[in-house]
């Protein structure tokens, strides 16, 4: 029996900066996981991934990552995606610089 489709977001890395980015519902690349489009349909997920992979001059390494809905937007499910969403692991740089507890 086939497994049920789990919600996903499309993620990649910006080609020039290397930053983690997410595909939003309007087809733009955003830097916050919470601003990503949460995809709940397998066919739509495949279409969005194909759109992302075609943007070779802007991003690299596009893939679908599991996520769940929250009041603030999609939330990563796996540790790897939580780590990527937090930003660079060297503090006072990128997304980490915006955190009040760093």
What pLDDT, in 10s, does the model give residues 14-57?
999 889 999 999 999 999 999 999 999 999 999 999 999 999 99
Of 72, 7, 4, 70, nearest to 38 by C-alpha is 7
Whether 73 is in a domain gets the answer yes
Whether 37 is in a domain gets the answer yes
Does the pTM surpass 0.75? The reply is yes
Of 15, 94, 4, nearest to 52 by C-alpha is 15
> H/E element holding 76?
strand 75-76
Whether 93 is in a domain gets the answer no
Whether 17 is in a domain gets the answer yes
Whether 29 is in a domain gets the answer yes
Whether 94 is in a domain gets the answer no
* Number of domains the chain contains: 1
Whether 98 is in a domain gets the answer no
Indicate the average pLDDT of the chain: 90
Whether 41 is in a domain gets the answer yes
Domain span at 58: 8-87
């Amino acid at each position: 029996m086939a497994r049920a489709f789990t919600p996903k977001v499309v993620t990649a890395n910006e080609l020039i900066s290397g930053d983690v980015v997410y595909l939003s519902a309007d087809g733009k690349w955003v830097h916050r996981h919470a601003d990503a489009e949460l995809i709940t349909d397998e066919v739509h997920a495949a279409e969005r991934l194909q759109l992302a992979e075609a943007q070779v001059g802007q991003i690299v390494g596009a893939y679908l990552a599991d996520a769940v809905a929250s009041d603030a937007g999609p939330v990563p499910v796996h540790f790897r995606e939580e780590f990527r969403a937090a930003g660079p692991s060297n503090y006072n740089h990128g997304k980490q610089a915006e955190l009040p507890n760093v």
